[in-house]
Amino acid sequence: MYSPEQTRQLQKQTNELLEKAHAHALHPGDAYRLQEVLRFHEYRYYLLNDPLISDAQYDLLYKELEKLEQAHPELVTRDSPTQRVAKGLTKDFPTVQHLVPMLSLENSYDADDLLDWDRKARELTGLQEIEYCIEPKFDGASISLIYENDLLVRGATRGDGVAGDDITTNIRQIRSVPLSARFSEYGIQQIEIRGEVLMTKKNFKKYNDQLAEQNLPPLANPRNAAAGTLRIKDPREVSRRNLEAFLYHVSYFVSPRGQHADPIVQTHSGNLEMLWNLGFRSPQQEKKLFSGIGKVIDYCHQFEKERDGLPYEIDGLVIKVNDIALQDRMGMTTHHPRWAIAFKFKARQATTHLRAVEFQVGRTGAITPVAKLDPVFISGVTVSSISVHNEDYIREKDLKIGDSVLIERAGDVIPQIVKSMPELRDGSEITIRFPKHCPVCHSTLSKEEDEAVWRCVNIECPAQVVERIIHFTSKDAMDIRSFGEANVRRFYDLGLLKDIPGIYRLPFERISQLEGFKEKSVNNLRTAIEESKKQPLHRLIYALGIRFVGETTAKVLAASIDYLPDFRKLTMEELENLEDVGPKVAGSIHRFFHTEGNLHMLEELEKLGLNLKSDKSAMVAGGNLHGQTFLFTGTLVQLKRSQAEEMVEKNGGKLLYSVSSNLNYLVVGEDAGSKLEKAKKIPSIRILSETEFLQLING
């Protein structure tokens, strides 16, 4: 896509634009260059996964372009990086016809299926041996894109294969889909390409964590998350979910000489390469070419073992005849092309029976129904119980005791019930009834109007107290290693531990007399508890278990005050002004810090020696680069530029973008240019190699 020479040029222009941005010297004449440079960095980031500038630098240039375009609307082009974002909500997704029907694929499950398929393919073509191209079978939502005169004009879902929904606005939110691509260089005027929209496992987990923080049920798998996101009517929300797209098929194109006239590309792998060169994420790096089915079969078996190593979900591999002229000769059935077949991996789904539902009380009093299942084995683990979240979820999934249910375990995700199978019912199934009273303290349960969750509101409910203590000690919270759930329950039942401050007042003499507690384990526990007093504030905030305050919000909160009890002084409005804090979260924080018992608990914790001071001040004092300024120039070899910059910021240092007497350190990579020359003339600037920089960071 970009030659080494172009890359150098664009990086040089980037630096010039950054310097101009810092000097407030950008003018309308720079808009086109800004667009070009931003497109280049999107490509480095989203396709190559190898950014050359930091997120902050990208954002700065983006904002500058936005400003210029606002002041001079005539500068806005349809493929400007600012034009992904749409304002307002989408009304509906009109139905649109596909230029060519979107067919499905034939499936195969073992070597015999593939041998059969290859035999038929050889009969059809009269060849001894066929060249095949293999690529992942992406487990997402299929899309079709149309580009006309190099511009993206339409994006659609598969729908019924003949017509789908026009989701162009949402497709434009996917950063790895270029808004323009130079198909004209291949003599192509109009083209329809196909691919799959995905959510990576990492983003999926992040998304489900967010849902959990809001007490919403998680999505079953990344495929559902991707498909669901494509149908959201708020494009900004689509953008936030960070979808990705792989494009793997050219289904139709028109060149000025007519439809399908003399294709420049003769093979499927050639098409993947063309798409890659034009800035698309195609399986160019993942594809493999083999002659003969034997090697294909070996590869399929080998690859199945590596499946979990990928950052996204795949459900198999797709084997395609590589020669496009041969593909055309083989043709298709009404259901699938004869020139391609899917090799499906072993399912991560299984059916079993739902035998009972138990109701558990969480630390916020939320009652969680847990389905007990006949144990089933799915991809390496036995599953026998699954959370079914809340009453609405049970209703939506139409679950009854005795039902056959389909369950799925996607990658490293917690197993989920995908659906029940009402068609298999025999009439003996029993409706699931939600309790009216807490199963532990028997107080009446209550439910707020806009919520799906029933709660035990008795703050003293033993189940809640125990869960709060367990949460406090857990790995992501205060991380008190040798404590563990079982010990919390045991100490609580014996009356040795009543509340959170009680952790720091444990009667060790009595504990050492308990069965199973040797001197060493008592000492380990004592040390772990003592150590936890030094945990940074954001961990303590998370550990307190304030509703809606997950790890991310806890970090925001810790960075925004100096002393934890000061939250008492903030108004609702001030709280809502914090990053990521909406009215619901603000309300919860406000309530927490206006509850007498909680303030008293914080006082006690402080007396017991816990740290209630902000990480902010801790970091500034500890970060060994505090107050120092840094600039990088040239190509770094051991680190990515973005990593190096992150290190500076994490250690309390600041980044500058041009050489001046304010600069303390210039870190010099390979092929450094004018900045180095300039810096040499200012004696106060220290010039470091990459290795010296790493030594400085590591103290």
- Active centre residues (catalytic): 137
Q: Out of 296, 318, 319, 659, which residue is the one contacting ligand IVH (CB under 6 A)?
A: 318
Nearest-approach distance from CB 141 to ligand IVH, in angstroms: 8
Nearest-approach distance from CB 11 to ligand IVH, in angstroms: 33
Q: Which residue number is nearest to ligand IVH in terms of Cβ?
A: 142
Output Rg (C-alpha) for the chain, integer angstroms. Answer: 30
Q: Out of 39, 172, 241, 249, which residue is the one contacting ligand IVH (CB under 6 A)?
A: 249
Shorter beta-carbon distance to ligand IVH: residue 118 or 196: 196
Contacts for 16 with CB less than 8 Å, ≥ 6 apart: none
Total binding residues for ligand IVH by CB under 6 A?
14
Region of 133-141, 294-302, 616-624, 656-664 interacting with ligand IVH (CB under 6 A): 133-141
Shorter beta-carbon distance to ligand IVH: residue 14 or 142: 142
Q: Give the phi and the psi of residue 417 in degrees, each rounded to 5.
A: -85, 120
- Name which of 79, 84, 85, 4 is nearest 36 in CA terms: 79
Nearest-approach distance from CB 168 to ligand IVH, in angstroms: 19
Q: Report the Cα 539 to chain-centroid distance in Å.
A: 22
Nearest-approach distance from CB 55 to ligand IVH, in angstroms: 30
Nearest-approach distance from CB 445 to ligand IVH, in angstroms: 45
Q: Give the phi and the psi of residue 289 in degrees, each rounded to 5.
A: -110, 135
Residue 412's SS3 state is coil
Nearest-approach distance from CB 392 to ligand IVH, in angstroms: 31
DSSP states along 447-516: --TT----EE--TT-HHHHHHHHHHHHSTTTT--TTTHHHHHHHHHHTTS--SSGGGGG--HHHHTTSTT
Interface of this chain with ligand IVH, residues 66 to 105, rule: CB under 6 A: 103-105
Between CA 352 and CA 375 the distance in angstroms is: 8
Q: What does DSSP assign to residue 46?
A: I
Between CA 133 and CA 269 the distance in angstroms is: 7
Nearest-approach distance from CB 194 to ligand IVH, in angstroms: 6
Interface of this chain with ligand IVH, residues 171 to 230, rule: CB under 6 A: 196
Nearest-approach distance from CB 285 to ligand IVH, in angstroms: 13
* 147 makes contact with ligand IVH (CB under 6 A): no
Region of 60-68, 136-144, 400-408, 491-499 interacting with ligand IVH (CB under 6 A): 136-144
Q: Out of 30, 42, 69, 135, which residue is the one contacting ligand IVH (CB under 6 A)?
A: 135
Task: Show the tokens assigned to 544.
Answer: 């307190």
Shorter beta-carbon distance to ligand IVH: residue 335 or 510: 335
DSSP states along 294-332: HHHHHHHHHHHHHGGGSSS-EEEEEEEESBHHHHHHH-B
Shorter beta-carbon distance to ligand IVH: residue 103 or 688: 103
Shorter beta-carbon distance to ligand IVH: residue 337 or 501: 337
Residue 486's SS3 state is helix
Contacts for 355 with CB less than 8 Å, ≥ 6 apart: 372, 373, 374, 401, 402
Neighbours of 36 (CB within 10 A): 13
Nearest-approach distance from CB 103 to ligand IVH, in angstroms: 5
Shorter beta-carbon distance to ligand IVH: residue 136 or 365: 136
Interface of this chain with ligand IVH, residues 325 to 344, rule: CB under 6 A: 337, 340, 342
Nearest-approach distance from CB 564 to ligand IVH, in angstroms: 50
Sign of CA dihedral 250, 255, 258, 264: negative
Between CA 341 and CA 338 the distance in angstroms is: 8
Between CA 213 and CA 545 the distance in angstroms is: 11
Shorter beta-carbon distance to ligand IVH: residue 410 or 477: 410
* 137 makes contact with ligand IVH (CB under 6 A): yes
Measured in residues, the chain has a length of 699
Between CA 339 and CA 35 the distance in angstroms is: 41
Shorter beta-carbon distance to ligand IVH: residue 342 or 543: 342
Cβ(538)–Cβ(611) below 8 Å: no
* 456 makes contact with ligand IVH (CB under 6 A): no
Task: Show the tokens assigned to 437.
Answer: 């009273």
Q: Out of 45, 46, 132, 138, which residue is the one contacting ligand IVH (CB under 6 A)?
A: 138
- Which H, E and C letters describe 559-611, residue by residue? HHCCEHHHHHHCCHHHHHCCCCCCHHHHHHHHHHCCCHHHHHHHHHHHHCCCC
Element (H, E) at 108: strand 106-108
Residue that the structure tokens 């015999």 belong to: 112
Sign of CA dihedral 617, 619, 622, 628: negative
* 155 makes contact with ligand IVH (CB under 6 A): no
* 163 makes contact with ligand IVH (CB under 6 A): no
Shorter beta-carbon distance to ligand IVH: residue 228 or 507: 228
Q: Out of 248, 492, 632, 665, which residue is the one contacting ligand IVH (CB under 6 A)?
A: 248
Nearest-approach distance from CB 402 to ligand IVH, in angstroms: 33
Shorter beta-carbon distance to ligand IVH: residue 247 or 503: 247
Between CA 193 and CA 178 the distance in angstroms is: 13
Contacts for 182 with CB less than 8 Å, ≥ 6 apart: 150, 278
Neighbours of 190 (CB within 10 A): 16
Region of 135-143, 477-485, 562-570, 621-629 interacting with ligand IVH (CB under 6 A): 135-143
Neighbours of 530 (CB within 10 A): 12
Shorter beta-carbon distance to ligand IVH: residue 57 or 142: 142
Which residues contact ligand IVH by CB under 6 A? 103-105, 135, 137-138, 142, 196, 248-249, 318, 337, 340, 342
